[in-house]
């Protein structure tokens, strides 16, 4: 029976503690970058929406049309005077009435259409 001449230590199937730290850090980094990406994607959508709103406002100024924000406020006020609105419809109209944020005029038009109050001037 001889003594083993293999000078290499046996490879352990378990990662070393330092390897676990690297793995944990990489997992944390991935989570953080995914969260950052989601945030910036949402922010980019918001910025594109604001830019579209400003382009529309610019066009309205050039043509002398009533600003979209004013049209949206009038439509929202009309919607809030209706009977039989859902909670979501009330919330959408109220948000547009009391906010200077970019307007989702399409949502207001949809509510108006659902209640048969959409006129040609609001298109």
Q: Are 60 and 66 in contact (CB under 8 A)?
A: yes
Cα radius of gyration (the chain)? 29
In the structure, what pLDDT confidence band is assigned to residue 109 with cuts at 50, 70 and 90? confident
Predicted confidence at residue 74, as pLDDT, reads 82
Higher pLDDT pick, 121 / 113: 113
Q: What angle do CA 84, 113, 106 make, to 5 degrees?
A: 110
- Is the pLDDT higher at 4 or at 88? 88
pLDDT of residue 101: 61
CA–CA dist 105, 84 (Å, integer)? 20
Q: Closest Cα partner for 107 from 83, 81, 79?
A: 79
pLDDT tier, 121 (very low <50, low <70, confident <90, very high otherwise): very low
Enter the pTM of the model. 0.44
Instruction: Please report, for the chain, the start and end positions of each structural domain, with discontinuous segments joined by +.
Output: 17-64, 66-123
Gap between the Cα atoms of 34 and 52, Å rounded: 27
What's the pLDDT tens digit per position in 1-58?
A: 455 555 555 555 566 777 888 999 999 999 999 999 999 999 998 888 888 878 877 8
- What pLDDT is stored for residue 123 in this prediction? 46
Sign of CA dihedral 105, 111, 113, 116: negative
Q: Output the CA–CA distances (angstroms, integers) from residue 77 to 53, 70, 92, 110, in the order listed.
A: 20, 10, 11, 15
Mean pLDDT value across the chain: 77
Higher pLDDT residue, 94 or 9?
94
pLDDT of residue 41: 95
Q: Which of 69, 82, 72 is nearest to 109 (CA)?
A: 72
């Amino acid at each position: 029976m001889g003594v083993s001449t293999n000078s290499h230590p046996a490879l352990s199937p378990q990662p070393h503690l330092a390897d676990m730290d690297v793995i944990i850090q990489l997992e944390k980094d991935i989570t953080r970058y995914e969260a950052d990406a989601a945030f910036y994607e949402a922010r980019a959508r918001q910025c594109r929406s604001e830019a579209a709103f400003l382009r529309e406002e610019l066009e309205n100024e050039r043509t002398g049309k009533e600003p979209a924000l004013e049209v949206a406020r009038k439509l929202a006020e009309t919607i809030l005077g209706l009977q039989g609105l859902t909670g979501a419809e009330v919330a959408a109209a109220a948000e547009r009435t009391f906010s200077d944020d970019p307007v989702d005029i399409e949502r207001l038009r949809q509510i108006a259409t659902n209640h048969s109050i959409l006129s040609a001037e609001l298109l």
